[in-house]
Structure 1
Amino acid sequence: MKYQNKQINLKIDGHLYEKLKEYAKDEGKSVQHILTESLVSMMARKQEPVYKDGKFTFIDLFAGIGGMRIAFTKQGGICVFSSEWDKYAQKTYFDNFDVMPQGDITKINAQEVPDHDILVAGFPCQPFSIAGVSKKNSLGRATGFQDKTQGTLFFDVCRILEAKRPKAFLLENVKNLKSHDHGNTWRVIQESLNQLDYEIFPQIIDGQGFVPQHRERIFIAGFDRRRYGNLYDFQFDVDNQKPEKKPVLRDILEPEVNEKYTLSDKLWTFLQNYAAKHKAKGNGFGYGMPELDGVTRTLSARYYKDGSEILINQGKDKNPRRLTPRECARLQGYPDSFKITVSDTRAYKQFGNSVVVPLVTAIAGKIVEKVEELDKKAERGDDSDGTHKLQQTGH
């Protein structure tokens, strides 16, 4: 379902209108754009609805279109706060959850974030500057996580962890996070979370088996050492939660598809020539056309450009086609009830940036299970092997 733009008549004071036009000109935007942004900002200040029947509370940072929210809600969680800066993702989020995520996380006061049990974030991977850290070390000055992560969006995760101290968190990122910037990014992430007194457990997991897509991502689960100490282990162990019948590509295909998704002769010729050129050089670059009873390559945010990583064979007498936005949603494990209310281009970007919902649902279940186990042990004052210890707490 796609909503059409609506027109409203708005009467405002003449002096205010002139000021509004002047402001819009200074910002390089239209008056309509300014008014729309103002309405979105106002709606973003609306608090998440509070329910009392949840097992736990969580916040959804870098929320995208809400894949992580769906996952943790399915495990009995209540979302009490969400943040997403992209206005098109905000629209999709609002259209599905009736809540407008707050915007730029760098401008959000951590103390104003509601208390919560679990922090959830699919944070972007950015370079971490270590020049300042090295300089301080050479001067013999101590550095904390803020010094190391300042200027990156990971810092915003850290400052909320420091301010609100949730029991646990789940972070998600691209597979090569550990090798990013020659390993410096991963080192800073580990050191920062360790200095914040969180015990972390990272693992790269493939979404294949939950959906018909090869999609490896790193997941980082963390638990508050001030509450629970560190005499325990955590295993993601989600394989036994995969469906008995392995999902394959044909499972997610729509029976009838608009001709607009079929590649033009020009684009199809280009992709074939491009693939042949790289094959001759010994490279593996080229389009992907998986078997209908197989799995696809990783869906990316650039899928809207040509769809080359996942093409659907339509027989020898017809050019292949790209996936529809609904098929992309299914490929990521979104239910058909999930509303797609943006253009195809925006939808492709959004689903390409999203998570495999059933995989994250399985991980969420494991984290909730571990938190409940650790809470019981903390109440008894027991460590992992049942002996008494001095309870550690940050409160």
Structure 2
Amino acid sequence: MPKFFEFFSGGGMARLGLGGEWKCQFANDICAKKVSTYIENFGDDEILKEDIYKLNASNLPGKADLIWGSFPCQDLSLAGNGAGLNGERSGTFKKLMSIIKDLKVEKRQPNLIVLENVVGAITSHGGKDFEAIIEALSSLGYYTGCVVVDGASFVPQSRPRLFVIATKTPKTRFFTLISKEPNPEWHPSNLIKAHSALPEKLQKKWVWWSMPTPPNRDKNLVDIVEENPTDVKELGTGEVKKLISMMSETNLEKLNQAKRENGLVVGGLYKRVRKQKNGEKLQRAEVRFDGTAGCLRTPTGGSSRQTLVLVENGEVKARLLSRREAARLMGVPDNYKLPSKYNDAYHVFGDGLVVPAVSWIEKHLLKPIQEAS
């Protein structure tokens, strides 16, 4: 059974996605609420609560076949501060690379590395951060390629994420897993552009990973809604009217269309500050009724919490997304033990991975690469 180390493990969603055919040897996160959730679900044998800056190769037991690292995205996200890989949080990438470098010296270097982050990592600092990521992996002897996977292919949540997949396995052994040209399904135009800007020496170590198209999603937003959630309450009539008053004409028309439909219609709503034609900035309530929720975030402010709008027989109700609904939007099974505090759950899932997206990558890339090594 192949083994893996998991850095920035959060609530263990990479572990869930990799499944029972991979054995976790070590997991690490600095956040107490995430570590406690991890322990609730997987036990405390592998997890270590510690700042990665205080870790080194000696903390890692034996040799892993895979290192998974979903390093913090705050400095790379469009919603972040733009500090890039030199930021305090996203700069943890450099520390992770130094640990892998030490493992190489000790002849414990993993065959596979997967790094996950927001798609903003592709264009951060004019592509310099992306180049630095590819350069770091190439210098350690890895072939590297990337795919952008939107969680919406698997769950009713819009969540595009960049997955950097690197391997030491000789290319001749996994040639069936790569294509000569990029595939728009997994390689959007900004990724193709970023690749073309890489120095020639890095392009020679690049591969275009190939995966099949996922089957049509079998659940929409209405299918993950709890009937009687205990951790959130419906908004009062006045609060609902206030939300509606914050909608633009376009969003009001979406709401009116939902009112005209039969049965329960569920939409996801976020509050956004938008600049008007006259230059004034207004907070707007923006809703979508396409069966897909907006991207989950951590609860850093009131507007970061997603509101569900429930329309049935012309009546409009609204409430915050529940903890279990947030988990379901990440593809987490219902037997997963949730944090008892609402905000803690939002932290765990807002920073998390879409479990079936990880499983798709594992099935069609990681497992075949490992078997070919």
TM-score past 0.5 threshold: yes
User: Counterpart of 1:104?
Assistant: 51
Of 245, 252, 270, the match for 2:224:
252
The 5 Å alignment of 1:265-284 reads: 268=240, 271-276=243-248, 278=274, 280-281=276-277
**CA distance change for structure 1 residues 88 and 289 in 2, over 3 Å: closer, same or farther?**
same
1:65 CA displacement: 0.5
Q: Give the CA deviation at 1:113.
A: 0.9
* Structure 2 counterpart SS, 1:193: helix
Is the alpha carbon distance of 1:309 and 1:279 closer, same or farther for their aligned partners in structure 2, counting shifts above 3 Å?
farther
User: Which residue in the other structure is 1:72 paired with?
Assistant: 18
Q: How many angstroms does 1:284 deviate by?
A: 11
Please give the alpha-carbon distance, in whole angstroms, between the structure 1 residues aligned to 2:153 and 2:85. Answer: 37
Partner SS, residue 165 of structure 1:
coil
**After the TM superposition, which residues 1-395 of structure 1 pair with which residues of structure 2 at under 5 Å, given as runs?**
55-74=1-20, 76-99=21-44, 100-114=47-61, 115-125=63-73, 126=75, 127-128=83-84, 152-162=91-101, 163=103, 164-224=108-168, 227-228=169-170, 232=175, 234=178, 235-240=209-214, 242=215, 244=216, 246-258=218-230, 260-264=232-236, 268=240, 271-276=243-248, 278=274, 280-281=276-277, 286-291=284-289, 294-302=291-299, 305-306=302-303, 309-315=306-312, 317-375=315-373
Q: Residue 266 and residue 88 in structure 1: after superposition, are their counterparts in 2 closer, same or farther (change >3 A)?
A: farther
**Whole-angstrom distance in 1 between the partners of 2:287 and 2:229:** 17
Q: Deviations over 1:98-128 (max 9, x none)?
A: 1243311111122331210001111113435
Q: Deviations over 1:176-230 (max 9, x none)?
A: 1111122221111111111111111111111113101111000111101xx5257
Deviation at 1:256, TM superposition (A): 1.7
Unaligned runs of 5+ in 2: 76-82, 179-208, 249-272
- 1:236 Cα offset (Å): 4.5
* Pair member with larger Rg: 1
Counterpart Cα distance in 2 of 1:330 and 1:161:
33
The verdict on how the C-alpha distance between 1:329 and 1:168 changes in structure 2, with shifts beyond 3 A counting, is same
How high is the TM-score relative to the length of structure 2?
Answer: 0.71
Do the aligned residues in 2 keep the contact of 1:238 with 1:362 (CA within 8 Å)? no
Change (3 A) 1:72 1:356: same
Q: Sequence identity of aligned pairs in percent?
A: 26
SS at match of 2:228: coil
Paired residue secondary structure (1:261): coil
Q: Is the 8 A contact 1:304 1:345 kept in 2?
A: no
Moved over 6 A (4+): 148-151, 282-285
The 2-side partners of 1:257 and 1:340 are apart by 13
Matching residue of 1:390: none
Aligned residues: 298
SS at match of 1:221: strand
Q: Which has the higher strand share?
A: 2
Residue 311 of structure 1, CA deviation: 2.1
State the secondary structure of the residue aligned to 2:152: coil
**Cα offsets for 1:4-40 (capped at 9, x unmatched):** xxxxxxxxxxxxxxxxxxxxxxxxxxxxxxxxxxxxx
2 CA distance for matches of 1:313 and 1:149? 40
| Cα distance in 1 for residues equivalent to 2:332 and 2:139 | 36
SS of 1:351's partner is: helix
Amino acid at match of 1:173: N
Question: After alignment, is 155-164 or 196-205 more displaced?
Answer: 155-164
Give the drift of 1:260: 3.7
Deviation for aligned residue 1:369: 2.9
| Structure 1 SS opposite 2:166 | strand
8 Å CA contact retained: 2:154, 2:217: no
- Maintained 8 Å contact 1:252/1:330: yes
Once the 2 structures are TM-superposed, how far is the Cα of residue 312 of structure 1 from its aligned partner? 2.5
Q: In structure 1, what is the Cα distance between the partners aligned to 2:151 and 2:165?
A: 17
SS of the aligned residue for 1:346 comes to helix
Residue-by-residue CA offset, 1:63-85 (whole Å, 9 max, x unaligned): 010000111134x0000000000
Q: Partner residue of 1:133? A: none
Distance across 2 between alignment mates of 1:68 and 1:258: 28
Contact 2:4 2:25 in 1 (8 A): yes
Q: Could you tell me how far apart the structure 2 residues matched to 1:191 and 1:236 are?
A: 22
Alpha-carbon distance in 1 for matches of 2:53, 2:124: 22
Give the distance between the partners of 1:109 and 1:217, measured in 2 at CA: 28
